[in-house]
């Protein structure tokens, strides 16, 4: 008898789902313990897409680290960018101008729509509705094309900047976006016609992945995943950033906290986002798009033209009387055109000099002179011309140029301290935590990625349900592994 | 189960509605683009492969070799080599570039641009290692005429206009439909 029991011993089946499984939304690996069709235990393994973004952020200046955030949640890159710049702006203590704020709110909501469209598409596809997938991508393509119009990239946009946005929107963009907002509600109706009352969809979503409001809060869920359980928490409402305090919108909440409620929340959110975009277009004020904060933003290019324009043939010359021989210029020169001993006046070899202005930017003693139109002149002539006072436009351009070089080489310097700033990205609350030691790079950058926290709740949602529902649960918490693993 | 619900269940009304929608789409214009045969229009200012700008008069590279682009590049994929008063080599590792466009923004001399070329896949890595010659020929190829000038005007940012209120700013001009 014992032997028979041994032979027919039943044990749980161990199944590896992912990391290459198409329904795990990236490279999520779930180890499922199955008792027949029922899930007994789930262990999520993350980290297959780890690129060390937090660590990378520490070795790049605040300005340079912006494109990294595109690669976190690549489905809604614009929102991640905005989250980053809003946090950095707070750290620097600067504020973007009104127009930039409205533009950022507008593109942020567009990105929310595009994220929810992709979520609906893949969620529906996982559950078995192919048509919705195709229809959603049709509209998402529309939004991506609009993104391309404003910033030249569809997915990894890198559009907002610290203190504003990269470039102003065009009239053509505004009009095509308005057209989109007029058309879009009818498209949402189309998706709803396909799945909202569909009996298969209802069977696969109602009562699946139920989580109560209290539990959802305890698990740290945010965004629509939390609101589906009936908690009206939305960072846009609680601590408004950008222009969210000047637009009207509702925060939809669910009641049951199941997959269907979260689906409904996101559908309503898309409508709300569409409304916000419309309000932003209507209320878009005139004004600058970059903050007037010369220490924290790039300098206007045309202000440097008197020196940098290709038709200008300046020479650079070191005034022996002023030069203290500190050697800063010597180290900055990329071609070693500068020679000189320590504490003695340095000299530029005009035959080697590139006229690149690197030395100009580092000389603290104003010993480096620009000689307008001095390229190719003899040493004596330069010496003579260097004494003449500079025209005012060149003096101004010089200031801008020096600051520009310093900005690029050292990065915008943040005050010492630390702060945490949260923004509402489509997936939930995205937080950036900076520890600054007063240099141009963060001492520590920490990202609170909603996907990471949502991935942790999977065991709680899946245990006790059928294995097919694991797919629905992965879809409903809306994770992107790029952001989860960072 | 109410009577209404019963009717709904037995008539498959919601599924029929969905089917009607897909059927109507069957006769509408296709949105798919048959890629290698058709191409979608590329918006101006697209961030594709790089080009080195040429001086409009002399036809030589505008780059002076200051190295700011190499400094700002988040993926450190630009290499500038200079010798005796000229830029001897200017190289971009295309495979590492993330097309953020920061090199364009950092360059105070307006010497590097991103073109609309996105079709540069290749079998060998050498062809994807852009040398100065290739980058200069890209300029002729993708920025002919005064397209380059236009590019700098619109996409070489920020300009002074971004810090003040320009007179002709795009605004919403009321509903029209
Ligand atoms: S302008 Fe550039 S190349 Fe010439 S001396 Fe200064 S740093 Fe060197
Ligand atoms: S940085 Fe200025 S003071 Fe120092 S060696 Fe160069 S020119 Fe002279
Ligand atoms: S686009 Fe960005 S990543 Fe590419 S070379 Fe320029 S700065 Fe570097
Ligand atoms: S492209 Fe511009 S930034 Fe780069 S080295 Fe040349 S001049 Fe300097």
CA distance A270 to B176: 23
* Minimal CA separation from B20 to chain A, in Å: 10
Would you say residue B118 lies in a domain? yes
| pLDDT computed for residue B166 by the predictor | 79
Asked whether the beta carbons of residue A152 and residue B114 sit closer than 8 angstroms, the reply is: yes
Sign of the C-alpha dihedral, residues B120, B40, A138, B18? negative
Quick check: A333 contacting B, CB < 8 Å?
Answer: no
Residue nearest to atom 4 of ligand 3 (CA): B97
Kindly determine whether residue A64 and residue B72, on different chains, have CB atoms separated by under 8 Å. Answer: yes
SS3 content of chain B, % helix, strand, coil (to 5): 35, 15, 55
* pLDDT tens-digit readout, A20-45: 777 777 788 888 888 888 888 888 88
Check if A183 contacts B (Cβ < 8 Å): no
Q: Which two tokens stand for residue A50?
A: 């780890």
pTM of the predicted structure, to 2 decimals: 0.90
Nearest residue to A38 (alpha-carbon basis) of A16, A13, A17: A13
Q: Is B152 exposed, middle or buried (0-12, 13-18, 19+ CB in 10 A)?
A: middle
Q: Is residue B19 part of a domain?
A: no
Measured CA to CA, the distance from residue A272 to residue B175 in angstroms comes to 19
Q: Which ligand is nearest to the CA of A310?
A: 4
Tell me, what's the pLDDT at A117?
Answer: 92
Q: Distance (Å, rounded) from C-alpha A49 to C-alpha A451?
A: 13
Q: Is B38 on the interface with A (CB under 8 A)?
A: no
Q: Residue B57 has what pLDDT? A: 82
Q: N- to C-terminal Cα distance for chain A?
A: 54
Closest chain B residue to the Cα of A307, Cα to Cα: B109
pLDDT at B1: 66
> Which CATH number goes with the domain that contains B147?
3.30.70.3270
Q: Is A323 in the pocket of ligand 2 (CB under 6 A)?
A: yes
B42 located within any domain:
no
CB of B125 within 8 A of CB of B78?
no
Residue B153 within any structural domain of the chain: yes
Rounded Cα distance, A181 and A277, in Å: 7
Mean pLDDT (whole number) for B80-109: 88
Is B169 within a domain?
A: no
Q: Please check whether residue B176 lies inside any domain of the structure.
A: no
For residue B176, CA distances in Å to A37, A102, A278, A281, B4 come to 56, 21, 13, 13, 42
CA distance B102 to chain A (A): 8
Residue B58, pLDDT > 80, answer: yes
Q: Is B74 within 8 Å of A152 when comparing Cβ atoms?
A: no
Tell me if the bond preceding A372 is cis, omega within 30° of 0: no
Q: What is the pLDDT of residue B175?
A: 61
Any residues with CB less than 8 A from the CB of A281 and at least 6 apart, and which? Answer: A106, A174, A177, A178, A181, B172
Question: Considering its fold, how many domains does chain B have in total?
Answer: 1
**Looking at residues B15-30, what average pLDDT do you find?**
84
Does residue B177 have a pLDDT over 50?
no
Domain encompassing residue B106? 50-158
Residues with CB under 6 A from ligand 1: A 316, 332-333, 335, 337-338, 348, 353-359
Whole-number Å distance, alpha carbon A397 to ligand 2 midpoint, is 20
Mean pLDDT of chain B: 85
**Residue B36 domain-assigned?**
no
**Binned average pLDDT, 10 residues per bin, chain A of 486 residues:** 74 81 78 86 87 89 90 89 92 90 92 92 86 88 90 89 88 89 90 83 85 89 88 88 88 87 90 91 88 86 82 81 83 85 83 83 83 78 79 84 87 88 90 89 90 88 86 86 86
Enumerate residues 113 to 172 of chain B having a beta carbon within 8 A of any beta carbon in chain A: 114, 154-166, 169-172
CB–CB of A178 and B172 under 8 A?
yes
Cβ of A31 under 8 Å from any chain B Cβ? no
Of all protein residues, the one whose alpha carbon is nearest to atom 5 of ligand 3 is B97
pLDDT score at A9: 76
Chain B interface includes A294 (CB < 8 A): no
Residue B107 falls within a domain, yes or no? yes
Instruction: Please give the pLDDT value at position A85.
Output: 92
- The mean pLDDT of B120-139, rounded to a whole number, is 88
Is any atom of ligand 4 closer than 6 Å to the C-beta of B72? no
Which helix (H) or strand (E) is A423 found in, with range? strand A417-425
Taking CA atoms only, the protein residue closest to ligand 4 atom 3 is B107
Q: Are B79 and B105 in contact (CB under 8 A)?
A: no
């Amino acid at each position: 008898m014992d032997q028979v029991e041994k032979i027919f011993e039943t044990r749980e089946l161990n199944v590896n789902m992912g990391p290459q499984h198409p329904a795990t939304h990236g490279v999520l690996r779930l180890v499922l313990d199955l008792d027949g069709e029922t899930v007994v235990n789930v262990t999520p393994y993350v980290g297959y897409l780890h690129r060390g973004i937090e660590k990378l952020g520490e070795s790049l200046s605040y300005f340079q680290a912006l494109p990294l955030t595109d690669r976190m949640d690549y489905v809604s890159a614009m929102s991640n960018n905005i989250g980053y710049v809003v946090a950095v702006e707070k750290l620097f203590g600067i504020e973007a101008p009104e127009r930039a704020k409205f533009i950022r709110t507008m593109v942020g909501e567009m990105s929310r729509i595009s994220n929810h469209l992709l979520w609906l598409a893949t969620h529906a596809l996982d559950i078995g509705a192919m048509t919705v997938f195709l229809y959603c991508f049709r509209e998402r393509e529309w939004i991506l094309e609009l993104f391309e119009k404003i910033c030249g990239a569809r997915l990894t946009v890198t559009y907002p900047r610290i203190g504003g946005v990269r470039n102003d929107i065009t009239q053509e963009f505004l009009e095509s976006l308005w057209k989109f907002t007029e058309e879009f509600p009818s498209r949402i109706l189309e998706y709803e016609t396909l799945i909202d009352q569909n009996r298969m969809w209802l069977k696969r979503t109602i009562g699946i992945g139920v989580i109560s409001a209290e539990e959802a809060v305890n698990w740290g869920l945010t965004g629509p995943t939390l609101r589906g359980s009936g908690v009206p928490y939305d960072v846009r409402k609680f601590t408004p950033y950008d222009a969210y305090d000047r637009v009207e919108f509702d925060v939809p909440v669910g009641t049951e906290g199941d997959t269907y409620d979260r689906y409904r929340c996101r559908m309503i959110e898309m409508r709300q986002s569409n409304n916000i975009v419309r309000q932003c277009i209507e209320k878009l004020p005139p004004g600058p798009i970059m903050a007037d904060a010369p220490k924290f933003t790039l300098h206007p290019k045309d202000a440097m033209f008197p020196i940098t324009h290709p038709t200008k043939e300046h020479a650079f010359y070191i005034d022996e009387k002023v030069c203290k021989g500190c050697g800063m210029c010597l180290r900055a020169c990329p071609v070693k055109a500068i020679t000189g001993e320590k504490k003695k006046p340095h000299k530029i070899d005009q035959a080697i000099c590139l006229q690149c202005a690197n030395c100009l930017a580092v000389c603290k003693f104003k010993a480096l002179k620009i000689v307008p139109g001095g390229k190719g002149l003899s040493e004596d002539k330069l010496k003579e011309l260097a004494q003449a006072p500079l025209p005012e436009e060149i003096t101004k351009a010089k200031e801008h140029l020096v600051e520009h070089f310093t900005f690029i080489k050292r990065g915008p310097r943040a005050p010492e301290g630390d702060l945490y700033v949260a923004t509402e990205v489509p997936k939930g609350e995205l937080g950036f935590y900076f520890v600054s030691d007063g240099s141009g790079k963060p001492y520590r950058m920490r990202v609170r990625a909603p996907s990471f926290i949502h991935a942790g709740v999977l065991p709680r949602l899946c245990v006790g349900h059928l294995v097919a529902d694991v797919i629905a649960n992965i879809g409903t918490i809306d994770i992107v592994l790029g952001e989860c693993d960072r | 189960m109410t009577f209404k619900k019963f009717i709904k269940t037995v008539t498959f009304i919601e599924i029929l509605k969905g089917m009607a929608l897909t059927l109507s789409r069957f006769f509408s214009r296709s949105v798919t683009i048959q890629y290698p045969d058709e191409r979608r229009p590329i918006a101006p200012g697209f961030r594709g492969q790089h080009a080195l700008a040429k001086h409009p008069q002399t036809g030589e590279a505008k780059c002076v070799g200051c190295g700011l682009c190499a400094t700002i590049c988040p993926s450190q994929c630009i290499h500038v080599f200079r010798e005796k008063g000229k830029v001897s080599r200017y190289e971009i590792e295309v495979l590492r570039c993330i097309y953020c466009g920061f090199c364009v923004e950092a360059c105070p001399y307006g010497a590097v641009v991103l073109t609309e070329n996105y079709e540069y896949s290749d079998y060998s890595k050498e062809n994807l290692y852009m040398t100065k010659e290739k980058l200069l020929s890209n300029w002729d190829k993708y920025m002919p005429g005064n397209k380059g000038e236009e590019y700098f005007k619109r996409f070489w940012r920020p300009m002074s206009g971004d810090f003040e209120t320009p007179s002709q700013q795009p605004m919403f001009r009321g509903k029209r439909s």
